[in-house]
Structure 1
């Protein structure tokens, strides 16, 4: 018996199985201890090596995903090999009867993990036959689980980029997003007619100058809520970098949140869009920000640039005073520093996208 090899094999197997189950099945757990360190190490290494070149960083996600899967398979393979090395002649050559060498053990574990057939080596006792059965079970089960995880991540990447495209399609900065949503004079004329009604009531929802925003905003909030849950389940999504800012969720989320800030705090109450939809969308952003800890993304030390109300006034959009808006931004300091941290962690600059 070789106790040291037995212990090493058990430790390696325990570590990789915990990491694999942690990463793939524990929705609120984020990345496992091993895969999390691999992810951040590869990401920071690529950033230093490439100087934040967008095209090079777009390879980070596929590289990390491939290395994670390879790490899981490799460590399971190594763990079982060490375990078989711990036994006295646990495996023998089926033709010569000689004890298996290290190459023989690696070969035996490989075909036992991925097939259920017999090869050139056989276990020497019922105990090692049972160990071989566990080798086959873990190989097939965990490799299948790992591949399923990869496919789920790739599907989430497509949804992530679709969300970003939907946001930036309305505006590549928050002021442009608000200006695109403004229906302007037509709604203002309807509001004037409404103000002459005998009841003197407020304009109906149909006459609100931002009423056309309701459906897109509801859709974006729903997409972002799903994206937040996916980032919680698959923290590697934070490292799937797009080489185009218009398809980068790290750019799109700040644009959306600053737009919501303008709607909520920069526009007078009587002109604001549906407040329920605004709060729902802000809640979705909050859920997204809650996923940053699982990806080891920290808030920036300073606040990002504030949206410019003057850009809205140029389009005839009514706004509150600069002082009132600045006071509201002060209360959102921590939230906006987190968003700036997201932007910088993905190697982008604060919107407008460049």
Structure 2
């Protein structure tokens, strides 16, 4: 018996199962293999698309990632089972002649055992291998079931992030437009009446992102459906509202706390394990539209917006996330 084959096979199966369970059944997000594959595929597609978020090529990155990950799990389980069967020359026998199966026949046998679609032309060579084969079959059945059920919540999470993007875009295409559309001449009640709906969808999106990080790679080349751009627009609008607007028109901090806390949660989730390193910082916003709408601003407040250290750090995080998704600050502010 070649123990090394058996050890390698068992280890490979355990590694794949751990990655599968971590990715699909745990609250920890993606397993190490899934995380590695997802990032490499995304950066490859992004490079081919020349780092342009509007490239239709990026729309395919999500399902390419999904298919590649599932195929990796399949191949890992299959190779692991094959190596395990190579441990014993008589682990698999021809059902008619009882002749030991060749390596290629064992590869075939391990594949149809995992898929539970065997046709009986080969059989296990002993009681031990009968039990081992049954365990492999149960593992294969569980793997197929989990993989299929994993796809559905991921697609639901993708639909939610598109819904959230469009909802924010309906409020305004730029931070200035969101504030202008939300101003009723006296206050921002028109905008704040939507804060509960936005916060609810945003918190759900954050939770989805923690459980199914792969949704980050389901890119949408339509600007109004891009979750990263939409949330950057929203965050800039909230920052303008809480800092740059004159105190006479500024809402109570408690009124905008729900949106601020929700955005804080979102940024905290996305910046985890990411090294924020970017030089793509936005130019000072154009305040003309807000002035034309009669929104009271003060020079002191505008200076505070441009120099505030907390906002600078926050905008660096957003700039990094925009770059990672193929966008930039010009897309946020609608600059040509």
Verify same fold: TM over 0.5: yes
1:237 lines up with 2:215 in the alignment: yes
Q: Is the 8 A contact 2:271 2:317 kept in 1?
A: no
Mapped partners of 2:23, 2:316: distance in 1 = 28
Partner of 2:31: 32
8 Å CA contact retained: 1:13, 1:75: yes
Corresponding residue for residue 166 of structure 2: 165
Secondary structure in 1 matching 2:88: coil
Q: Structure 1 regions of 5+ residues with no counterpart?
A: 188-208
C-alpha contact 1:90 1:128 (8 A) present in aligned 2: yes
State how 1:220-299 maps to structure 2 within 5 Å. 220-273=198-251, 275-293=253-271, 296=274, 298-299=276-277
Pick closer, same or farther for the CA change 1:296–1:6 going to 2, 3 Å.
farther
Distance across 1 between alignment mates of 2:276 and 2:82: 40
Gaps of 5+ in 2: none
Q: Is the 8 A contact 2:280 2:328 kept in 1?
A: no
Distance 1:301 1:257 in 2: 19
Give the total of aligned pairs.
Answer: 329
CA deviation profile, 1:47-69 (whole Å, cap 9, x unmatched)? 22232351001100110011111
Larger Rg computed on CA atoms:
1
Instruction: Report how far residue 330 of structure 1 moved.
Output: 2.6
CA shift at 1:178, angstroms? 0.4
What's 1:106 paired with?
107
Q: Which residue of 2 aligns with 1:130?
A: 131
User: SS where residue 30 of structure 2 aligns?
Assistant: coil
- Which is worse superposed, 339-348 or 97-106? 97-106
Q: Give 1:74-89 correspondences, 5 Å limit.
A: 74-89=75-90
- Runs of 4+ aligned structure 1 residues displaced above 4 Å come to 293-297
Output one character per residue of 1:311-342: Cα deviation in whole Å (capped at 9) or x when no partner.
31121110132223334x33222111111111
Q: Is 1:308 aligned to 2:251, yes or no? A: no
User: Once the 2 structures are TM-superposed, how far is the Cα of residue 169 of structure 1 from its aligned partner?
Assistant: 1.5
Report SS of the residue matched to 2:51: coil
Cα contact 2:92–2:122 (8 A) shared by 1: yes
**Counterpart secondary structure, 2:281:** coil
Deviation at 1:168, TM superposition (A): 1.3
Q: Which residue of 2 aligns with 1:17?
A: 17
Which among 311, 320, 323 is matched to residue 303 of structure 2?
A: 323
Partner of 2:333: 352
Alpha-carbon distance, 1:306 to partner: 3.7
Compute the displacement of 1:116 (Å).
6.8
Corresponding residue number in structure 2 for 1:141? 142
Tell me, in whole angstroms, the C-alpha distance in 1 between the residues paired with 2:228 and 2:15. Answer: 32
User: Is 2:170 the counterpart of 1:180?
Assistant: no
Q: Which residue of 2 aligns with 1:213?
A: 191
CA distance in 2, matches of 1:256, 1:101: 62
Change (3 A) 1:294 1:145: farther
| Larger deviation, residues 279-288 vs 268-277 | 268-277
Q: Please, what TM-score do these two structures have when normalized by structure 1?
A: 0.87
Q: In structure 1, what is the Cα distance between the partners aligned to 2:57 and 2:273?
A: 20
